[in-house]
Amino acid sequence: MGFVGETLDSLKRTQLRDALSQAISLGMIVTSALMIWKGLIYFTGSESPVVVVLSESMEPGFKRGDILFLHMNKDPIRTGEIVVFNIDGRDIPIVHRVIEVHEHGGTGEVDILTKGDNNDIDDRIMYAQGQHWLQQQHIIGRAVGHLPYVGYLTIIMTEKPIIKYVLIGALGLFVLTSTE
């Protein structure tokens, strides 16, 4: 079949094959990153398994830019544990230590009070209006591991979005132009 052979040859000449394989490798990078993230969510049981520390309220234990690894399971929350929680009406989750726990006998529900190690007073003032305690549903996970500095790039990128676009652009260009 001379015709097919000719067409294939011309395809090769137009480097469509190259472009396709570039597109696939780019797709592979994006999807494997997504797989790792979703895999982490599954294995840790926490909806956000890795968080970056944004505030100084847990200094000097956790500094701004440190990364925390979260874990979530059925084990009850106890005092001393460092938990990440959401407050209704606040976008950014908070990483603080539990200082008080009351577990109800019948229902097994818990009332939790938290405080940042570097703060002078407990967190009741920053809970929602009229909220005295955190409940289990506010907790995203408990911190189990710590990696210093790594999250600082995230902070820089959120504060100066231009750096984010430059970085993403450079990476994209690198993937598209590298031929090996």
Cβ at position 81, least distance to other proteins in Å: 8
Only one of the segments 6-14, 48-56, 85-93, 145-153 lies at the binding site for other proteins (rule: CB under 8 A); that segment is 145-153
Structure tokens at 127: 């809970």
Pick between residue 10 and residue 73 the one whose CB is nearest to other proteins.
Answer: 73
Structure tokens at 141: 């996970």
Q: Is 117 a catalytic residue?
A: no
Report the 10 Å Cβ neighbour count for 72. Answer: 19
Q: Is 21 a catalytic residue?
A: no
Tokens 């067409």, residue? 7
Only one of the segments 10-18, 19-27, 29-37, 75-83 lies at the binding site for other proteins (rule: CB under 8 A); that segment is 75-83
Regarding 29 and contact with other proteins (CB under 8 A), the answer is no
Cβ at position 2, least distance to other proteins in Å: 36
Residue from the set 10, 31, 79, 158 that interacts with other proteins by CB under 8 A? 79
CB-count exposure of residue 138 (10 Å: 0-12, 13-18, 19+): buried
Cβ at position 26, least distance to other proteins in Å: 16
User: What is the 8-class DSSP label of residue 126?
Assistant: G
For the segment 105-144, give every residue that binds other proteins (CB under 8 A): 105, 108, 111, 117, 122, 143-144
Q: Is 132 a catalytic residue?
A: no
Identify the H or E element spanning 68: strand 67-71
Cα–Cα distance, 53 to 65 (Å, whole number): 5
87: left (phi over 0), alpha (psi -120 to 50) or beta: beta
How far from chain centre, in Å, is Cα 144? 14
Q: Which residues are catalytic?
A: 57, 96, 123
Instruction: Name the site residues for other proteins (rule: CB under 8 A).
Output: 60-62, 78-82, 97, 99-105, 108, 111, 117, 122, 143-148, 174, 178, 180
